[in-house]
Amino acid sequence: MSNSVASESKVGHETPKTSRKRGGKDEEDEDGEGIIEGSAAANSTTLVVVDIPEGIDRIGEHAFAN
């Protein structure tokens, strides 16, 4: 039987404030935060699943409990 390890990382959960200029003025959305461009890509989540063969309990610097 093998151990499965799943690692989840969130990318870009803190998106910097950006605003668009239109007619020489900054455009802001309803809450005054500025318009965020590319927020769908900035809030993506990646799930990594690794299959570890039986008998291996240490990979690199990360130790796994048996």
Tell me the mean pLDDT in the region 16-37: 54
Which long-range contacts (C-beta less than 8 Å, at least 24 apart) are formed by 26-30?
Answer: none
pLDDT band at residue 38 under the 50/70/90 scheme: low
Question: Would the pTM count as exceeding 0.75?
Answer: no
Query: Which whole number is the average pLDDT over 38-54?
Result: 70
Name the pLDDT band for 50 (thresholds 50, 70, 90).
Answer: confident
- Residue 52, pLDDT > 60, answer yes
Beta strand ranges found along 1-66 (DSSP E): 3-10, 20-22, 25-27, 45-52, 58-59, 62-63
- The ranges assigned to domains in the chain are 3-63
